[in-house]
Chain A
């Protein structure tokens, strides 16, 4: 099933939670809405589900206007951040709920309901918990039950609001992989909201980066990481070194000194140079655009993370770089740095 969102506007008082948002989600996609808190991602998800209403715009599910229908008629599976399991029902009854409240004409008989619930509990590998109450489950188990409950109604689309937000790091990692494999198994069009970039990049087929009620970029995980469209995306996804530079006549200057890099068509004026931590080439002093003293080195796994105090200018700029360990850095050493890949964005703020 496809989802189409057109020119959605949603205001809470003077605050624009969603500011003209357009989005198309293709059949069977697993899409991540990624952004900091207050970026409007959860509001967008709730509007698609019918739990909130936009002030203007259109929502189409499979080409059909969804705003004419309430949440209960949209056949949308929704998984809440805090699970929202029915606390007075067993796991079994929680999963069966969506089947039991169906109109009598289409409701399955008891045997079929039982079979379907069993099937779903098997799918989330928790059939042995059928008679427990939500309060007796761990966070990860609750989340999987919430998912099984949402899938019980055979939803046209599946929406997940910060599905792993309330879980600890280890369970999170496991559930991520599990969700991805589950999606490839059942292939229902899914959108999940997260503020965790790693989660978005690891799980989703496509990532929608949002900020302040607007979509900043839509792309594959590789796209948004390697070719960020805006300064916000570059800063939000992955660790970046940000240096204030001046662009004029095709040259880039840092604190008055020209850097040996091309402006790449960036507009003249005050700008920001974004470089990934691992995109700084290290060389002996005097061979690169930037020079600095190593202040501190931490080595772990295949990389060493060094704190470099850049020389020149005010001499107070300290950056962190990741370098391979083929050449061990020493504290106090003077080295030169040359950005291998970089982006220049006009400085707005």
Chain B
């Protein structure tokens, strides 16, 4: 492929991003056993280690996972149900909780929707065209990952806050961005932007532009080419990016905390409400909301595993055999 390939294999890349995705209870990556044995050029395979060593290593890994991953998960659900099932559902039925759930869903819908469009456009531009400043654009897409979420939130305070650049103008026109839904959505969009673009770029780069060229030479218009050829080819990668984007959008705390203003029943998202309730010693309510987020994480993990398998399968059927 003549096109520049800044990325390793798409799936390895995606997995790397998945671990930064802040999926609340991400199981630490075990590393690729295949890769490791290839990297170590020793004739002795790792699996030929003597039994006791193997046992110790596995026991260490399992106990680590138990203490740091399984136990907290169990605690979340145990605390949520500690006063019984009715208390659990009563906590979720509180107007404040319902408002937080609604707000979270709304913000996730807005940011996932917009990032879906922006992500596809950015990935398309990067993967299918050559232009000046492409490397810079790729780096820029990564920015939200490398910046602390608190800074991401502060940026919007500086822009839209009462003392910010556009603050007085916004106030004069009675437009509320900060401490309202638009601000929360903006901060979430910023933080979650890379997921869709990043999951598509390596995939689209690998697929190249030949199928699109074929479609055009067969008389297809630009839109027909996109919906009939490009989109079907990237659908699993796109779903993967959307999934991670959604998990992060619902779970985002730092950036949202800065711009939300914590107005009860109005601008608290689920993660914010969890903290507030916890600080007020309402443990059942707090953990009930947390259990919803934990369930979201578990569902995300399962779907992610399914999608990864799809993506791995997608690697095999290619048009050109590797032997040219």
**Residues on B with beta carbons closer than 8 Å to the beta carbon of A97:** 215, 218, 220, 228
A343 at interface, CB cutoff 8 A: no
A172 at interface, CB cutoff 8 A: no
**Residues on A with beta carbons closer than 8 Å to the beta carbon of B224:** 101
- The answer to whether A75 touches B219 (Cβ under 8 A) is yes
**Residues on A with beta carbons closer than 8 Å to the beta carbon of B215:** 86, 97, 101
Q: Among A70, A73, A84, which residue has its beta carbon within 8 angstroms of that of B214?
A: A84
Chain A's nearest CB lies how many Å from the CB of B230? 10
Interface size on B, residues (CB 8 A): 24
- The answer to whether B214 touches A78 (Cβ under 8 A) is yes
Interface size on A, residues (CB 8 A): 37
A71 at interface, CB cutoff 8 A: yes
Q: Which of B165-213 contact A (CB under 8 A)?
A: 210-211, 213
Closest to B207 in A: A87
- The answer to whether B219 touches A134 (Cβ under 8 A) is no
Q: Which of B272-324 contact A (CB under 8 A)?
A: 316-321, 323-324
- The answer to whether A82 touches B210 (Cβ under 8 A) is yes
B146 at interface, CB cutoff 8 A: no
**Residues on B with beta carbons closer than 8 Å to the beta carbon of A83:** 319-320
- The answer to whether B228 touches A101 (Cβ under 8 A) is yes
**Residues on A with beta carbons closer than 8 Å to the beta carbon of B316:** 135
Q: Known contacts being A72-B219, A101-B219, A101-B224, is A86 close to B321, with CB within 8 Å?
A: no
- The answer to whether A166 touches B324 (Cβ under 8 A) is yes
**Once bound together, how far apart are the Cα atoms of A87 and B211, in whole Å?**
9
Q: Known contacts being A87-B317, A135-B317, A166-B324, is A72 close to B221, with CB within 8 Å?
A: yes
**Once bound together, how far apart are the Cα atoms of A72 and B323, in whole Å?**
31
A98 at interface, CB cutoff 8 A: yes
**Residues on A with beta carbons closer than 8 Å to the beta carbon of B323:** 166
B216 at interface, CB cutoff 8 A: yes
- The answer to whether A86 touches B317 (Cβ under 8 A) is no
- The answer to whether A86 touches B320 (Cβ under 8 A) is no
**Residues on B with beta carbons closer than 8 Å to the beta carbon of A71:** 213, 216-217
- The answer to whether A153 touches B320 (Cβ under 8 A) is no
**Residues on B with beta carbons closer than 8 Å to the beta carbon of A142:** 319
B229 at interface, CB cutoff 8 A: yes
Q: Known contacts being A86-B229, A87-B233, A87-B319, is A72 close to B216, with CB within 8 Å?
A: yes
Number of cross-chain contacts by CB at 8 Å: 91
- The answer to whether A133 touches B213 (Cβ under 8 A) is no
B232 at interface, CB cutoff 8 A: yes
**Once bound together, how far apart are the Cα atoms of A81 and B321, in whole Å?**
12
**Once bound together, how far apart are the Cα atoms of A187 and B152, in whole Å?**
64
| Complex interface bits, A64-106 against B, C-beta within 8 A gives 1, otherwise 0 | 0000001111111110111111111000000001100110000
- The answer to whether B211 touches A84 (Cβ under 8 A) is yes
**Once bound together, how far apart are the Cα atoms of A39 and B224, in whole Å?**
34
A147 at interface, CB cutoff 8 A: no
**Once bound together, how far apart are the Cα atoms of A50 and B213, in whole Å?**
10
Chain B's nearest CB lies how many Å from the CB of A72? 5
- The answer to whether B216 touches A82 (Cβ under 8 A) is no
**Residues on B with beta carbons closer than 8 Å to the beta carbon of A72:** 216-221
A49 at interface, CB cutoff 8 A: yes
**Once bound together, how far apart are the Cα atoms of A86 and B213, in whole Å?**
11
- The answer to whether A82 touches B218 (Cβ under 8 A) is no
| Complex interface bits, A114-141 against B, C-beta within 8 A gives 1, otherwise 0 | 0000000000000000000111100100
**Once bound together, how far apart are the Cα atoms of A269 and B324, in whole Å?**
44
Closest to A46 in B: B213
**Residues on B with beta carbons closer than 8 Å to the beta carbon of A165:** 324
**Once bound together, how far apart are the Cα atoms of A142 and B216, in whole Å?**
19
**Once bound together, how far apart are the Cα atoms of A139 and B324, in whole Å?**
11
- The answer to whether B211 touches A86 (Cβ under 8 A) is yes
- The answer to whether B217 touches A166 (Cβ under 8 A) is no
Chain B's nearest CB lies how many Å from the CB of A39? 17
Closest to A85 in B: B319
Which residues of chain B have a CB within 8 Å of any CB of chain A? 210-211, 213-221, 224, 228-229, 232-233, 316-321, 323-324
What would be 26 A-B contacts, judged by CB atoms less than 8 Å apart? A70-B216, A71-B213, A72-B219, A72-B220, A74-B217, A78-B214, A80-B210, A80-B213, A80-B214, A82-B319, A82-B320, A85-B319, A86-B211, A87-B317, A87-B319, A88-B232, A97-B220, A98-B218, A101-B221, A102-B219, A134-B317, A135-B317, A139-B321, A150-B218, A153-B218, A166-B323
Which residues of chain A have a CB within 8 Å of any CB of chain B? 49-51, 70-78, 80-88, 97-98, 101-102, 133-136, 139, 142, 149-150, 152-153, 165-166
